[in-house]
A = this chain, B = another copy of it.
């Protein structure tokens, strides 16, 4: 009797230890997954963690796209970068599980008729065993599928299934939170993009202006390696910098002839109106500088700009970047009844204003813009006409190289330089018919 009691205690001890281990794993996972609201990062972390927990080789989380009736997932490509894969929601084993809610535990894939060996053939991977389980939210709705491949030593057993069921619940909620967050982000994003484009097209002369200014600014951002968040602020500021023009009567804004002094004074109100409008918007903390950047795009570093006559570093770096992008776009855009200004003349004007209107550091960085980017931005409204091969040829060269050629500062052009000029001219000097 004593012995049997001992045995019971030992068995209870063992069970408790296993249960504790399991709970710790789940708690750690819950804690770990919560740290990511960004969906891509969340999915990649989930897949890594779950493979580790189940001692398996791979784990994929497929999410169900209700609207398109597709399953999709991201594939890890290096650290934290994801690529999407998609297929019809009823296809394959994952599709079967998504449609039926069944749990499929297949100990030997090549002995199972439902398994499609084509993917292994393509990828060179060898699937031995697989566990596929629905990802079900707390309302019991299937929102995706877990697929786990190649348990390291043996096949997946009952306890793996139980553990994965508990994991599924934790994962489903974090994924749903992340989806809700992402759709809000995407909503604000598309709202700003759409509004910006709509305001630009009120007058076809400025069509695409804000978009191109944003692209030039982001190209500067990349050269200066400012990091993800400042670039995101610049993107919003670029798209919205002219929103204040909503406060300027069209009769003045779009006047064809020369503006009177009074009319010019009215137009000059627009950055202040931009500040006023954007100042009423509660941007997320990470976008808190958008208003300040957007509303300083007409300041000059010599203090002669508007609305506040700020000088040098008083103007936020983003505002100084926007100022250059804004003028560069104005000088290089097609205008009614005329082609683009010659690029060397454009840059003469910019250089003359370097140290006056523009921050010389920003002007220098602009010269490093890769030529493929420059052409892509210049021709953004005509991007269907861009030849991918041409862009690849332009990519190794910078804006400063084409300027040297165009300014005639090179005594004898090499064949490469001649070809580069020809390629640049093909796009820059293209005859353009206004719509």
Chain A residues close to B by CB (< 8 Å): 9-10, 12-13, 16-17, 19-20, 23-24, 26-27, 30-31, 34-35, 37, 138, 169-170, 173-174, 177, 180-181, 183-195, 197-199, 202, 246-247, 249-251, 277, 280-285, 287
Which of B23, B138, B170, B194 is within 8 Å of A280, CB to CB?
B194
* A281 contact set on B, CB distance < 8 A: 187, 190-191, 194
Q: Which of A9, A195, A281 has the most CB of B within 10 A?
A: A281
- Pick the contact of A183 from B10, B26, B198, B282 — CB < 8 Å? B282
Closest B residue, CB atoms, query A284: B183
CA distance A396 to B142 in the complex (A): 48
Residues on B with beta carbons closer than 8 Å to the beta carbon of A35:
138, 173
Pair B187/A188 contact, Cβ less than 8 Å: yes
Question: Cα distance A192–B191 when bound, in Å?
Answer: 9
Residue of B20, B170, B187, B247 near A19 (CB, 8 A) is B20
A4 to B189, CA, bound (A): 67
Most chain B C-beta atoms within 10 Å of own C-beta, residue among A16, A187, A192, A246: A187
> Are A34 and B285 interface neighbours, CB within 8 A?
no
From B13, B34, B188, B285, give the contact of A16 (CB < 8 A).
Answer: B13
A251 partner residues in chain B, CB cutoff 8 A: 250-251
Question: Across the interface, which residues of B come within 8 angstroms of A282, CB to CB?
Answer: 183, 186-187, 189-190
B183 adjacent to A185 (CB under 8 Å): no
Whole-angstrom CA separation of A428 from B31 in the bound complex:
58
Cα(A188)–Cα(B185), bound, Å? 9
* Given A13-B9, A177-B37, A282-B183: A202 in contact with B246 (beta carbons within 8 A): yes
**B residues near A174, Cβ cutoff 8 Å:** 34
Chain B minimum-CB-distance residue to A273? B198
Which B residues lie within 8 Å of A287 (CB)? Answer: 187
8 pairs of residues in contact across A and B, judged by CB atoms under 8 Å: A13-B16, A26-B27, A30-B31, A180-B181, A180-B284, A183-B284, A202-B247, A250-B250
**Contacts A9-B10, A30-B31, A31-B169 known; 16 new A-B pairs at CB < 8 A:** A12-B13, A19-B20, A27-B27, A27-B30, A34-B34, A34-B170, A177-B181, A181-B184, A183-B285, A187-B281, A187-B283, A188-B188, A191-B281, A193-B280, A199-B246, A202-B247
Please, which residues of chain B bring their CB within 8 A of the CB of A26?
Answer: 27
Q: Which residues of B contact A246 (CB under 8 A)?
A: 198-199, 202
| Least Cβ–Cβ distance between A119 and chain B, in angstroms | 31
The residue on B at minimum CB distance from A193 is B280
CB-CB under 8 A from A283, the residues of chain B are 187
Query: With a CB–CB cut-off of 8 A, which chain B residues contact A19?
Result: 20
Residues of chain B with a CB closer than 8 A to A198's CB:
246-247, 277
Chain B residues contacting A184 (CB-CB under 8 Å) are: 181, 184-185, 188, 284
In the complex, which of the residues A19, A31, A34 has the most CB atoms of chain B within 10 Å of its own CB atom? A34
> Top 10 nearest A-B pairs by Cβ distance?
A23-B23, A184-B184, A250-B250, A16-B16, A30-B30, A194-B280, A34-B173, A183-B284, A190-B282, A188-B188
How far, in Å, is A159 (CB) from chain B's closest CB? 17
Within the assembled complex, what's the spacing in Å between the Cα atoms of A91 and B359? 46
Q: How far is the CB of A279 from chain B (nearest CB, A)?
A: 9
Interface centre among A169, A198, A251 (most CB of B within 10 A): A198
Given A23-B27, A249-B250, CB of A194 within 8 Å of CB of B34: no
